[in-house]
Chain A
Amino acid sequence: MAALNIRLPLHSRAGACNRIILSILLSAWLFVGCAAPPKPLYYWGEYEDLLYSMYLHPGEADTTTQVAKLTEDMQKTRDNGQLVPPGVHAHLGYMHYRLGNAGSALAEFTTEKLLYPESTVFMDQLIKQLTK
């Protein structure tokens, strides 16, 4: 039994050293558990910088630039085996819509909905407007 191997040194005199090490390791592990920063779930790429720029320096984040950068981000996300964050497919769809690419916009809104069902109500409205 595996448990027996752990218990034996704890109850023998010769195991005093092991006991201390085990205690320290156990506490250290618990402390790390408390302090660990949240792990990023997503690949964020340029999304935040594009949001910032589209408002403050619109020339640096025109619609075409946004489509190019976000599309590149999605490729990187796939290459990294990470997830596209909430809202990014929808935002890309909106940029496609502004460029007049209804088909691409529709595809992105649908993807947003599939990845994040929480967006269904909002995306369905946009999809309805596009296909009307």
Chain B
Amino acid sequence: MPSRRVLPWLLVSLISCATPPGNDYSLFRARLPRSILVMPPLNESIDVNAPYIFLATITRPLANQGYYVFPVAMVDAFMKENGLASAYDMHNVSLNKIHEVFGADAVLYVTILDWGQKYLLLSSNTVVKSQARLVDVRSGQTLWSGEQYAVEGSGGGGNLIAMAIVAVVTQIIDSLTDRTYELSRQANYSMIYDQDDGFLIGPYHPGFITDPRGLPDPNVSPR
């Protein structure tokens, strides 16, 4: 038996860990996929490169979270070689076909909503924003959905002439370095790793068996 004086400390720690209610992981847990196929994203932004930047930055967080991720560029090329010219065509492939051709457990469907730099008078904002949905291939059920979002500002502050110079300089620097690549990476990390809204820990991760999310609450006795 631990001392009574230790117990309050334990309690405080446990409360700080608890996730807020409302995030239902039960279906995700029940159908827990081992493998994820990332479908080349639909693009509603004006940046034609956005889907590729997204694809380049999604494998790492998903795999680090413990899932097998199909090689994204290969999947894209394979589908194109098989007559699916656009992401729209790819999104319309039936789940049965995906199961047959790839053997994937789940598909991540992504729609890019906003992407790139917005030049304001004296500053610029860079934004990445997408919606993502994880679908169970066997049942067609949505296991998880979430948003990838990050925004970064530059310029502003100080006197007007200095601001104008800063704005010009940062816009030149920004146009040389694609900030959306780094932002998309950060936004995908946040989306996947988030303790409250992210992905459950998958089978390849050492923490797989200790992730309590989506398990029945041990404090609620079954009827």
Residues of chain A at the chain B interface (Cβ within 8 Å): 10-11, 19, 22-24, 26-27, 30-31, 33-34, 37-42, 44, 47-49, 51-52, 54-56, 85-88, 90-91, 94, 116, 118-122, 125
Tell whether, in the assembled complex, residue A34 and residue B204 are in contact, meaning their CB atoms are under 8 Å apart: no
Tell whether, in the assembled complex, residue B3 and residue A56 are in contact, meaning their CB atoms are under 8 Å apart: no
Tell whether, in the assembled complex, residue B73 and residue A51 are in contact, meaning their CB atoms are under 8 Å apart: yes
Q: How many B residues are at the interface, by size bracket?
A: 35 or more
If A56-B178, A125-B101 touch, does A87 touch B70 (CB 8 Å cutoff)?
A: yes
Tell whether, in the assembled complex, residue B193 and residue A11 are in contact, meaning their CB atoms are under 8 Å apart: no
Residues in B whose Cβ lies below 8 Å from that of A39:
206
Residues in B whose Cβ lies below 8 Å from that of A47:
59-60
Question: In the complex, how many angstroms separate the beta carbon of B180 from the nearest chain A beta carbon?
Answer: 10
Once the chains are docked, how many angstroms separate the CA of A58 from the CA of B9?
A: 56
**B53: nearest residue on chain A (CB-CB)?**
A52
Tell whether, in the assembled complex, residue A121 and residue B103 are in contact, meaning their CB atoms are under 8 Å apart: yes
Residues in A whose Cβ lies below 8 Å from that of B72:
51, 87
Binds A, one of B10-18, B112-120, B150-158: B10-18
Question: In the complex, how many angstroms separate the beta carbon of B71 from the nearest chain A beta carbon?
Answer: 4
Question: In the complex, how many angstroms separate the beta carbon of B65 from the nearest chain A beta carbon?
Answer: 6
**A120: nearest residue on chain B (CB-CB)?**
B103
If A85-B59, A121-B101 touch, does A90 touch B53 (CB 8 Å cutoff)?
A: no
Partner of A23, one of B6, B105, B193, B207: B6
Tell whether, in the assembled complex, residue A55 and residue B10 are in contact, meaning their CB atoms are under 8 Å apart: no
Tell whether, in the assembled complex, residue B14 and residue A56 are in contact, meaning their CB atoms are under 8 Å apart: no
